Structure 1
Amino acid sequence: MARPTPLSGFPEWLPQGRTVEQHVLDTLRRTFELHGFAGIETRAVEPLDQLLRKGETSKEVYVLRRLQEAPGEEPAGDDRLGLHFDLTVPFARYVLENAGHLVFPFRRYQIQKVWRGERPQDGRFREFVQADIDVVGAGTLPYHLEVELPLVIAEAFGALREVGLPPVRILVNNRKVAEGFYRGLGLTDVEAVLRGIDKLDKVGPDAVAALLVADAGATPEQAAACLELAAVHGEDEQVVDRVRALAERHGAGGALLDEGLAELGALVGAAARRAPGVVVADLRIARGLDYYTGSVYETVLVGHEGLGSICSGGRYDTLASDGATTYPGVGLSVGVSRLVSRLLSAGLVRATRSVPSAVLVAVTDEEHRDRSSDVAAALRARGIPVEVAPSAAKFGKQIRHADRRGIPFVWFCGAGQDGGDEVKDIRSGEQAPADAASWAPPAEDLWPRVEPADVS
């Protein structure tokens, strides 16, 4: 059989990489649960008519079907299924189906794989892991949750800083500020303006100004004012004063702008106290999806901004509706695979070993393998990860096997002068008597750890 070729866009990590990914997932899960978010998991497939409601994702959806269909079994209409390309559509359906069993506001986190048929590139995959948090209300949802959620994410990324994650910046804006300002200028096609502003990083201000004139019906002066707004950023409430001054200069005030500025000021004010320097108001953040109605968020790794956003989301008022009740919410989605791929490819973090085993129990000869297995069982019963040597080779060979596996300790049965057991730290060469009922490795060696890659 020829050596297989990796499939582009479908990441698979080596054991050390998987340890890093698992640490990221565990940190996110632990942080979410500390803030009262309940974990859920939804099915991998949804009806195609639900996945394609907006139409623009049709080229990204993978259709699910059997290789061979029996005569008359060709699915049609609502029976056609596709793999979900994000976790929003399945979550909306989940809320509607289970509304009678949920307590609102409902706090949920969801960590699952999704599939998206796009061109693979750095940080973009066809199969990847997302970690979402949302709070959804029935009918109403208070604004303070738009302040809380980015601070939860800031806390999670703060915990990952300890193992080598670079600093993050959570860039925030409010769609009411943008819409209020644009309408105050006399622009009515707000979505066209937002689509143009959303392209600033890709095409630059001159090209965006031309787009605003061509697609949004803006005059050159209006386009220039929109770009001035997009250039405003700051870490505290002073950003609100700057926008007010800009709006006054262009005659672009109004109730919607005032409401948005009050909300944005509350968010950056709380963030300046609880996560200084992490949450930054940035008025160019537009988020292209048209269902966001309030706060919007994008998160970048400092020094790795070219990777794009590693966490994004916002406030939405129409996640789902059953005709009688509408379920507004606010949420963020962490691109776990994108984040882990950069941590590994840039050599930012490392796992201290590639296997969970802290101890290899050597085998003197095959006739006494049971004794080695008994020691391993006794250590495992006390929560110590252990494996038994695969063969009764010379002890030097068994030690080399442990070294290749990254296992720090080797246990020798009956090696002491009194016939007792001994354990050896193969890194230092120190060997000492040991009892399976009481010996334990140092805490830092019990399980693999994730740490900054520059730690010697």
Structure 2
Amino acid sequence: MNSKVTPISGFPEWLPAQRIAEQHFLDTIREVFELHGFASVSTRSVEPVERLSNQGEDADKEIYAVSRLAGGDDAEARLGLHFDLTVPFARYTLENAGKLTFPFRRYQIQSCWRGERPQRGRYREFIQADIDIVDAGELPFHYEVELPLVVADAFSRLPVGPYKIQVNNRKICEGFYRGLGIEDVTGTLRTVDKLDKIGPDKVKALLQSAGLSQEQADQCLALAAIATPDSSFVDQVRALGVEHELLDEGLAQLKAIMDAAAEHAPGVLSAELKIARGLDYYTGTVYETVLNGHEDYGSICSGGRYDALASDGKRTYPGVGISIGVSRLLGLLIGEQGLTASRETPTAVLVAVNDDDSRAESMRIATALRARDVPTLVAPKAAKFGKQIQFADRRGIPFVWFPGSGTDGGDAVKDIRSGDQIDADRATWAPPTADLKAALVSPPTD
């Protein structure tokens, strides 16, 4: 039975060379997370809908419900696919608190699902890479300093181009608003968070329609306009003449982050006091990351401090986390800019087959090379050598091994890019390090 294949929007799939590029990003991110002492966890894909829908978003409109087609009366819970990794991690922490060692440093790289209209950089299925540090009772502030430096380390090893991690502290905003006499702090934060989408004039109108005076609205916009690559934001905020204890605390904490960044990741972080993050559970430092020149694409890495996301009623587990939107990032780098891999297969060597009777010997050679971690494939057919070379060339495989074609009946290996052929011993030969794995390749710029 023939059926027409119809693509489903919002579920990205890559071709083999693009998938190698994606895997390189995932492997690099994982390696950096582990270098910084984070342990891997994996959580189930589904959570009770009630848990997912209680997180300060229009979650009911976004959650994919899960049910058995023959469900009948077996409705033990309404389940939904998780739309981020923070909510399931909070549940995981509560369920396993007695078995975890705190402070617990976790990383998690998994798919998430959001039932929203797909658009540029936003998908229905996507991969996120999260790190969180959670403690029992209290979480020291210094972890808020650490997380953006981990991201900076990961991005320094990847071809993401120039980027900026924008940092703010919710205590600055809340303390400033309270110092102005504003009572609806949460509503004001949400409105100011719309600055990049609707602009200052509309934000000011919204603030005033919510009951703020013109002076209060102007002060809120003046605070949001402050952005510095260093700690000079402190003096600029002080110049606005607003005082509050919480404001002082937030300024001191953000200054500590910027001072650490100046030493460990110079030029990467920016203090941006307009960054608020719309989710209610953030209570301290907040992060958003944009690619320079692609600010309209939005944040590709974000997160912040939360003090009460995970609580069992007796004990609270505060934490700080940051999430790399891997699919979102690669939607730009691979999907739009053409980042790919140098070959469509991990294979570095194709072992030629002289004839059907000698295939067993070609397999022995491949086994010897693989034993030394050289990705190797045996040719599918004992065709003419020219066709076997063509088979390798089409897949980007750089080397072809010819059994018995070397001096005195030994083997030979050919770099099919240059045409150079040399005698080779299967027990010692290895390709250059640069050819052992497929390399990332960016398209030429005009």
Partner of residue 273 from structure 1, selected from 251, 263, 266: 263
Q: CA deviation at 1:258?
A: 0.9
Counterpart of 1:113, as a letter, is S
Q: CA deviation at 1:64?
A: 0.8
Counterpart of 1:183, as a letter, is R
CA distance in structure 2 between the aligned counterparts of 1:363 and 1:348, rounded to whole angstroms:
35
DSSP 3-state at the match of 1:59: helix
CA distance in structure 1 between the aligned counterparts of 2:81 and 2:366, rounded to whole angstroms:
43
Asked whether 1:180 is paired with 2:183, we answer: no
The total of aligned residue pairs comes to 443
Q: CA deviation at 1:192?
A: 1.3
Structure 1: unaligned runs, 5 residues or longer? none
Partner of residue 253 from structure 1, selected from 233, 243, 246: 243
Q: Are the equivalent residues in 1 in contact too, given 2:227–2:233 (CA < 8 A)?
A: yes
CA distance in structure 2 between the aligned counterparts of 1:300 and 1:417, rounded to whole angstroms:
57
Q: CA deviation at 1:56?
A: 2.4
- What is the TM-score with the length of structure 1 in the denominator? 0.95
DSSP 3-state at the match of 1:318: strand
Partner in structure 1 of residue 65 of structure 2: 63
Asked whether 1:425 is paired with 2:419, we answer: no
Counterpart of 1:123, as a letter, is G
Q: Are the equivalent residues in 2 in contact too, given 1:299–1:311 (CA < 8 A)?
A: yes
DSSP 3-state at the match of 1:379: helix
Partner in structure 1 of residue 160 of structure 2: 165
Q: CA deviation at 1:60?
A: 0.6
DSSP 3-state at the match of 1:110: strand
- What is the TM-score with the length of structure 2 in the denominator? 0.97
CA distance in structure 2 between the aligned counterparts of 1:135 and 1:268, rounded to whole angstroms:
20
Q: CA deviation at 1:348?
A: 5.7
Q: Are the equivalent residues in 1 in contact too, given 2:18–2:339 (CA < 8 A)?
A: no
CA distance in structure 2 between the aligned counterparts of 1:82 and 1:279, rounded to whole angstroms:
36
Partner of residue 230 from structure 2, selected from 211, 232, 236: 236
CA distance in structure 2 between the aligned counterparts of 1:348 and 1:159, rounded to whole angstroms:
19
CA distance in structure 2 between the aligned counterparts of 1:345 and 1:444, rounded to whole angstroms:
25
Q: CA deviation at 1:25?
A: 1.0
Query: What whole-Å deviation, never above 9, does each CA across 1:324-377 have from its counterpart, x for those lacking one?
Result: 110111100110000111111233633121111111111111121111111111
Q: CA deviation at 1:271?
A: 1.1
Asked whether 1:121 is paired with 2:116, we answer: no
Partner in structure 1 of residue 317 of structure 2: 327
Asked whether 1:137 is paired with 2:135, we answer: yes
Partner in structure 1 of residue 203 of structure 2: 208
Counterpart of 2:85, as a letter, is L
Counterpart of 2:216, as a letter, is Q
Partner in structure 1 of residue 43 of structure 2: 42
Q: Are the equivalent residues in 2 in contact too, given 1:165–1:348 (CA < 8 A)?
A: no
CA distance in structure 2 between the aligned counterparts of 1:47 and 1:200, rounded to whole angstroms:
34
CA distance in structure 1 between the aligned counterparts of 2:16 and 2:352, rounded to whole angstroms:
23
Q: CA deviation at 1:278?
A: 0.6
Counterpart of 1:127, as a letter, is E
Alpha-carbon RMSD:
1.4
Counterpart of 1:189, as a letter, is D
Asked whether 1:409 is paired with 2:399, we answer: yes
Counterpart of 1:396, as a letter, is G
CA distance in structure 1 between the aligned counterparts of 2:88 and 2:347, rounded to whole angstroms:
38
Q: CA deviation at 1:141?
A: 0.6
Query: What whole-Å deviation, never above 9, does each CA across 1:108-131 have from its counterpart, x for those lacking one?
Result: 000000110011111100000000
Q: CA deviation at 1:416?
A: 3.1
Q: CA deviation at 1:451?
A: 4.5
Q: Percent identity?
A: 62
Counterpart of 2:232, as a letter, is Q
CA distance in structure 2 between the aligned counterparts of 1:264 and 1:423, rounded to whole angstroms:
58
DSSP 3-state at the match of 1:433: strand
CA distance in structure 2 between the aligned counterparts of 1:318 and 1:332, rounded to whole angstroms:
16
Asked whether 1:357 is paired with 2:347, we answer: yes
DSSP 3-state at the match of 2:202: helix
Partner of residue 149 from structure 2, selected from 142, 148, 151: 151
Q: CA deviation at 1:261?
A: 0.9
CA distance in structure 1 between the aligned counterparts of 2:428 and 2:230, rounded to whole angstroms:
55
Partner of residue 212 from structure 2, selected from 215, 218, 221: 218
Q: Are the equivalent residues in 2 in contact too, given 1:165–1:349 (CA < 8 A)?
A: no
Q: CA deviation at 1:15?
A: 1.1
CA distance in structure 2 between the aligned counterparts of 1:293 and 1:213, rounded to whole angstroms:
25
Structure 2: unaligned runs, 5 residues or longer? none
Q: CA deviation at 1:449?
A: 1.9
Partner in structure 1 of residue 33 of structure 2: 32
CA distance in structure 1 between the aligned counterparts of 2:133 and 2:37, rounded to whole angstroms:
10
Partner of residue 316 from structure 1, selected from 306, 313, 325: 306
Q: CA deviation at 1:3?
A: 4.5
